[in-house]
Structure 1
């Protein structure tokens, strides 16, 4: 029996996903932490180094060009592998090129290349996510998610900590980037080795269909609004716990940066890798709902280790245990969560829908920081980490509500249609669209007035408040209608 669960890790498809996951994760650190280290060693000022953090915006907004990868196929290797090969070859050239530059003399050219690397890396992520969604059956998604996350994490270790060590002690920064460029050929090999997903599904015939149809398809499903809220909230407790973890360990507990770097980064990454592998194995026995519920509960409980750190004396073993358990459970939750995103994608528009859903899942990581900082300032660390456990509960509650929908989708590889309250749902969507338009106008005026004018101050305040209110009302209305539809179906 045990041999059956491990056999899946030796299959060809698994090896392809591991190598493609590695290629997907490799460029990330090369435009963030590793590049910042190179610039720091070169003596650049903090303002310039901070500015370079903006090059990663492509990862946030990748859903904007994802419909192109659903609509168009390149004239070689098929709909998915063609785009993968194009992005990988582009990354090989760009990473090699940035290694030929000097941060002190070629700063703007280096910035341009870094932006292009981030763009093609985000594009590779789009098509890789679509590929694994298309190629994996419902039974394979748990294992596929675990393997792809494993490859991604290993690549981050290679292009992050290992690259810094090699650059500092052995071959220097330029040669390190050239070496990373060569390692991208792993992705090219995996793409050529991989099989193109079956093309029996209908694909968008126009760019308009590629943009509009994925949204119509998703919001035409049962519980669409509640599921979107679930995606935002499922890992919210983890997001709060991780937002200030380094600051907590150094300032709150009193460990030095070296101890934190060794334990939090190295041991944490090792625990995450073990977690995703265990998650992949367990998901071969569990349904998606049960895996999400079990791993979600473990994620919440694991934050209790930080509370113990906050109320006990400083101890390196206690820190190691807390970090290992939290990252282990977080890795298991990540495996199940990626499988959930794949399950929710229609294969006709998997690139667009996965990009949108993954962008939505990042909301917690991006925006909890200010709230976490305010909470710690007012209530201190022990109560904050109890609060992170509480923040994991809404996601589990939503998961329980959406159980029937998720189990139907996993079992039938299709989606329950929405049958009730159609006019009211349309009103909720119109409210969100109107709010999004107002917020988009506010964003345009924000950049415009910052550059030239200050006369739009009050207009910007109104647009921000009204746009946010309309979006909030639309979302609450959609979620309430979903809940009423579940009640009505249960009553019938």
Structure 2
């Protein structure tokens, strides 16, 4: 891929790029990608709580979203596995898009057919349906990311990223606030639960997903897509799929049923790492142990000759090796460090933000109105600015701008600590934070796209996007404990300081890539 950006593109030309058909396609696909995630998280949680499901059982459903964090494991299937009839008819990307979208619709309809208030088998089936929805949604994300990268050259990636993020946010708004409004309209609330209201709500969400299906059928296969590498027999592809399923099952069983083996280890590290550090360390060992079990099972099965060695190498080894060969070990490691840390400031803060607003005395209506509606509009504006600025000045300059703004806006939250219930200041802080987040997210998605090779778009981007959230979300899980120890004000300053290494990484990444200057 070319690493040159149109940093001197005139303002008029930069703005005209928004009128191309590619922009509309990515906006609609972004909307389709934003629908499912909240139907697993917040919206589903409200449904389950209204149905009288215990909090512990509700949190169990969060496991359904594990697919988003580990989608890189089956991304090679999307790149390598042809779909009978569909791949020849629609092409590699559109066939997988259609399959994933139809699977999402089927999962939502499945969930709508189950009443959690009945408990027992219904609750288990609801969990399975949620897992199926998470898996299907993560698969759709894999394909859309690859489709976006192959749809246009690197110079347009920031623009496509900005409209994709805008569509994604609107989709989340529809599936979040929109679904709650629909459920209330049909007559269900915490004091008067009605299963039929939630059934109709989820069925409406399934119908709304047809936006993605129609877009997939009406658009065309990317002209820059690499030719499908269908060089193996159908039986070999089926064996490869079986191997993947076996590894996924091994990971799930070892992670969930091995939890009790690690529950008592924290006390061994308490004197050295403290309570939070010991818990963090043990959970990391737990996670990586499950991954090692899955890899060991896969390696043992592969040795039996079930799957051709060349197929495994093409799926998992070549994409990683190509990345390190292209950039060199030193630069590749620096880029991966930047990928893993760039969003650490805003993700760690975001985990506890709603709790903070409530602790400051803001009402739920105020939080919803300012953080969701007004915040969404500022994010869309930020995404628009990020796309135009990247076209005009280059990716690394805007990437640096986003890193600096992320740290500065986190400090703004410290101002809210002593201000009490000040709606004007809350709106100012939320507006600035979301505006800057929109700019940073657009530049960062363009940056991730620029790191991929056109021959391995699905696999490489899935790896990058998984690395992007792994460390921040892991640390974010302990944000409540950190606040309990040092207070909100020091916590916000700490999250701002987390952004300083990111600024340094952006600077050196820009210099080592030898692309448009960051300063």
Question: Which interval holds the TM-score relative to the shorter structure?
Answer: 0.7 to 0.9
Alignment partner, residue 49 of structure 1: 58
1:164 aligns with 2:173: no
Counterpart for residue 384 of structure 2:
277
CA contact under 8 A between 1:101 and 1:110: conserved in structure 2? yes
Which residue of structure 2 aligns with residue 249 of structure 1? 357
Query: Distance between the aligned counterparts of 2:48 and 2:175, measured in 1?
Result: 16
**Distance (whole Å) between structure 1 residues aligned to residue 375 and residue 217 of structure 2:** 33
Q: Does 2:317 correspond to 1:212?
A: yes
Counterparts of 1:22 and 1:200, CA distance in 2: 22
Query: Which of 111, 115, 123 is the aligned partner of 2:127?
Result: 111
User: Structure 2 residue aligned with 1:185, among 207, 210, 217?
Assistant: 210
1:5 Cα deviation from its structure 2 partner: 3.1
Q: Which residue of 1 aligns with 2:13?
A: 4
Query: In the TM superposition, what whole-angstrom CA distance separates every residue of 1:290-324 from its partner, at most 9, and x where no partner exists?
Result: 01011221221111210111233431111111111
Can you give the 5+ residue segments of structure 2 that lack an aligned partner in the other structure?
Answer: 1-9, 188-196, 232-310
In 1, the alpha carbon distance for the partners of 2:199 and 2:225 equals 46
Residues 406 and 165 (structure 1), Cα distance of their counterparts in 2 relative to 1, 3 Å cut:
farther
Which runs of structure 2 are paired with 1:53-64 in the superposition (5 Å)? 53-64=62-73
Question: RMSD of the TM alignment (CA)?
Answer: 2.0
Q: Output the TM-score relative to the length of structure 2.
A: 0.75
Equivalents in 2 of 1:244, 1:92: separation in Å? 31
Show CA shifts across 1:35-83 (max 9, x none).
Answer: 1111111122212212111111111111111001111233331111110
Structure 2 residue 370 is the aligned partner of structure 1 residue 263: yes
Distance 1:196 1:72 in 2: 17
Are residues 1:225 and 2:333 paired?
A: yes
Q: Structure 1, unaligned stretches of length 5 or more?
A: 412-492
* TM-score between the two structures when normalised by the length of structure 1: 0.79
SS at 1:198 equivalent:
coil
Partner Cα distance (1:174, 1:218) in 2: 46
Q: What residue in structure 1 maps to residue 32 of structure 2?
A: 23
Q: How many residues are paired up? A: 409
Deviation at 1:111, TM superposition (A): 1.5
- Counterparts of residues 7-156 of structure 1 (less than 5 Å): 7-74=16-83, 75=87, 76-105=89-118, 106-156=122-172
Measured after TM superposition, the shift of residue 392 of structure 1 is 0.6
- Cα displacement (A) at 1:370: 4.8
Change (3 A) 1:370 1:104: closer
Q: Please give the secondary structure, in 2, of the residue aligned with 1:35.
A: helix
For 1:121 and 1:235, the matched residues in 2 are separated by: 22
Equivalent residues of 1:19, 1:151 under 8 A apart: yes
The equivalent residue for 1:427 is none
Higher relative contact order structure (alpha carbons within 8 Å, sequence separation ≥ 6)? 2
